[in-house]
Homo-oligomer: A and B are copies of this chain.
């Protein structure tokens, strides 16, 4: 990465390149830059214009199909009929807020809490993962009486003022909060042989705890995404989070599982990412896949933790938990349960991982292939000995795939990890489709 740039920018369209685009695309990009302003990022050297979606496929105005290997929001498939029908029906019936009684939000809260450890008995609803994390941190601070929050070095937890300060992935222009400490993400690929990933991570957390205590801030929470998405996808070995969480609790803090990315069956073996590590969080936040694109997010909590905040302060989120968003969320949960989607994710994810490892075996610039369920990372390096991140080649692969109408992106502090995170309905034919194009692109960038 060049100094001052961010991983979020790594795969961004550069408006200066508009001259290379066809007229229609250039015109859309120009209007966009003028109307939406410079905070927005388009993906790809040649941006993609999409008008239709179906399952794991997206379509441009000419009717060309793109394979979606990136989007985790449309988790049960683009335009999933059950979700579309539920949203249309509820929108035509009633859409109001939680200051009147409505049964659906309670039925959904029960169903959702049934997927979590029994200690979590409360659910609150908001519209975005950012709002969920923002509230979770405030709840942690109210419960513990401490200020400090520990996150990973390339974390992204959202876009409000508070959680932007917990999102180093936004780049150096974004100051971190004064009560924030960052630690290196668990990284099995770069952990020295004989060392334990979990203990190395815990050692970083111990330093952060000491620093927060020295500053008189105390430890309110360890806030991590158990898939370590923006840190480069680090799922294994399952269980590595336990020593760090134990230390945080010993220091009087709690564990907030940011499940915005790994939750809702994404990692296959378990419904929630933290469950792979055998942990019971005090707080769980979720967002992206919860309503298959209809804005809804949630905070699930152990009652004594939440109540330390909630008995003192009211919280109202106008659209949070509204009947239409709840109908979408209920349809997503029903779809996951009734179609056996979690088992599908396990099976397809395992096959995808095998195929990627086979392709990687003959390729000197693929350093590592890792993943859990349908969240996979392919690390592109200068060579397998040095393990030096090769962001340029990773980007060339992403752009090569885009030219072949396969949608992916990159992540990791080096901007060199291919992020493969398709809708969960992605099946074996889609794995074949991806592997065909990926193999061709690997040859082309060699």
Contacts and interface: CB of A to CB of B under 8 A. Distances in A.
A267 interface: no
Contacts of A35: 106, 109-110, 113, 121-123
Contacts of A32: 101, 106
Contact of A91 (B36, B47, B83, B124): B83
B50 A121 contact: no
Contacts of A325: 295
Given A128-B317, A314-B6, A52 B106 contact: no
A41 B314 contact: yes
Contacts of A324: 293-294
Interface in A10-24: 12
Interface string A1-15: 000001011001000
A37 interface: yes
A88 interface: yes
Nearest to A109: B35
Contacts of A74: 95-96
A413 B287 CA distance: 35
Interface string A91-109: 1111111111111011001
Contact of A162 (B93, B126, B160, B296): B160
Contacts of A192: none
A43 B99 contact: yes
A311 interface: yes
Interface in A156-174: 159-162, 164, 170-171, 173-174
29 contacts: A25-B101, A28-B101, A34-B122, A37-B301, A37-B303, A37-B307, A39-B315, A40-B316, A43-B99, A43-B100, A51-B93, A51-B94, A51-B102, A52-B93, A53-B93, A58-B96, A79-B93, A79-B94, A83-B91, A128-B317, A128-B320, A130-B131, A137-B161, A138-B164, A159-B315, A160-B160, A171-B313, A171-B314, A295-B325
Counting from the closest, the 8 A-B pairs by CB-CB distance are A39-B310, A88-B88, A95-B293, A161-B162, A39-B315, A295-B295, A49-B101, A295-B319
